[in-house]
Structures are given as C-alpha cells and as structure tokens.
Structure 1
Amino acid sequence: MRGWMEIGDLRLMAGKHLLIVESGDLIADAVRLALEQAGAVIVGPASSVEIGLALFDITRVDAAILDIRIEGETVFALAERLQDAGIPFVFAISHADTDIPAGYGGYRLSESPAALAQIAKALFAAHENGS
C-alpha cells in the first residue's frame, strides 16, 4: 500500500512548473525524467544562480529544487526571493556536512522514486490541503 501513496504524492507535481537550479551533476537525467513523467514542467535546469534568478523573473515557477552551491556560489539569494514570494523550495544537497542557515529547509536528493514522492509532499502537500 505504501507504494501507491508514494505514486499519489508524485501526482502532486502534475502541471507544476518546477525550477531546477543545479551544477549539472547533482540531479541525474533519470530524476528529471521521473519528474517529467509525474507531470512536472521543468524550468531550466539553470546552471548558475544568475540564470536561476533570471528564469524566476521571466517565467512561471510553482516550486524549486536548488543545488545549494553552484560554481562556488551559494543559492541563498534565490532561496530568499522564492521564500519572499511564498514559493516552496527544497535544497538538493549532496554532502552531509552542508550547512543550511536557520530558516531554510533542506533535502538530500536521491534518484529513488520514494524520495521524489517525499519532495512532492514537501513542496505541494500543504498547498493542496489549503495550508
């Protein structure tokens, strides 16, 4: 039964515009494909914070998955813009020792469909329930 709930959670992404900001090696093609198969519209991926900010300014973004460090720069400026706009996001962190300042969430992304379902819940479940 648990598997069905996870698939249902992935459906929370259907039709959502998901901004991905990453250095190109954190979120594998298989993960992007799974997100698209769940119905997400991928915005990006942006390979720098500057490109991520530009995409945020010119296109619809319902949520974001952010690599915490790109080209030696952290994504906190973009995270603050998303937070100010009330847009949910998660950090895709690849190292356990990554420091995330208080006030931000975080998520260690894997290619597991169960992990993607957890991301879907983190990004969209509260909004689906009217929270």
Structure 2
Amino acid sequence: MTFVKSGDERPRVLVVEDEYFIADDLAQALAAEGAEVIGPVGDPREALDLVANERIDRAVLDINLHGELVFDVARALQARDIPFVFATGYAANVVPSGLSHVPRWEKPFDAISLARWLATGVAA
C-alpha cells in the first residue's frame, strides 16, 4: 500500500529525528511509499516552525533530540489535528498523559514497516 492513490496529492510527512541514519532511512522509506518528506529536522524549534508554517499531513517524532524533548512539537501537531507517531527508544511512561494515546514505534524499528503503516492511514 502506498500513500498516493490515483489522482491524489502526495501527503507531506514531517520527520523529526536527530540520528542521521535513522532519519535518512525513514525519509527514503516514506518517499518510496509516495510521501513528500518534510525535513528531516533534528531540532525542536525548527520542527515547531515547520508545524506553524507548512502544510503537514502526518509526522514522525523522535522524543529526544540532542537532549531536548519534543512534547511541545507533539502538542502543536495535536492542536492542528495532524496525526503523528512517536518513533523512540523511550518507554511509554516518559510520555505525558495528554499524549499517552499517541502510537509509539520502539527503536530499533524497520523504517519500511513504519512508512507502510503510516500509508495505511492507521495514524490518520
């Protein structure tokens, strides 16, 4: 399954990840499924700027970016009703209660499987 159906616009997926190889693998997998990748970005402030100023259809967030947590980014996505998933090595108990319903993909994860899961609309 891919993101794009005949005649549909490519969905824009924000990737917020500070580990280069993970970000690159995920960006390639999302693009292969038909998504337009926004980023990857490894800084929460840059991610917040993109959320505020870009059309984003879905997002993948690592919880910890060089020691900074992304929960403000998650709340900004939530406020705009943009579906997202946490892709992280952190346990569920780290996630604040207002975000505990957000799906989590635990690292290490298979980027292709995550991209295909997002393409099914599960996170939509």
TM-score interval for Structure 1 and Structure 2 normalised by the shorter chain? 0.7 to 0.9
Question: Which residue is equivalent to 1:12?
Answer: 3
| 2:26 is aligned with 1:40 | no
**TM-score (ref. length: structure 1):** 0.75
State the 1:113 CA deviation: 3.0
RMSD over aligned Cα, in angstroms? 2.2
| Higher fraction of helix | 1
State the 1:97 CA deviation: 6.8
Q: Is the 8 A contact 1:64 1:90 kept in 2?
A: yes
| 2:98 is aligned with 1:107 | no
- Cα distance in 2 for partners of 1:80, 1:32 equals 23
- Cα distance in 1 for partners of 2:111, 2:72 equals 29
State the 1:59 CA deviation: 1.4
SS, match of residue 19 in structure 2: coil
Q: Is the 8 A contact 1:67 1:92 kept in 2?
A: yes
- Cα distance in 2 for partners of 1:97, 1:90 equals 12
State the 1:96 CA deviation: 4.4
Structure 1: which 5+ residue stretches go unaligned? 1-7, 125-131
SS, match of residue 122 in structure 1: coil
State the 1:42 CA deviation: 0.5
Q: Is the 8 A contact 2:18 2:65 kept in 1?
A: yes
| 2:60 is aligned with 1:65 | yes
Q: Percent identity?
A: 32
Question: Which residue is equivalent to 1:116?
Answer: 115
Alignment-mate amino acid for residue 12 of structure 1: F
State the 1:37 CA deviation: 1.0
**TM-score (ref. length: structure 2):** 0.78
Q: Where do 1:19-98 residues align within 5 Å?
A: 19-25=14-20, 27-96=22-91
SS, match of residue 19 in structure 1: strand
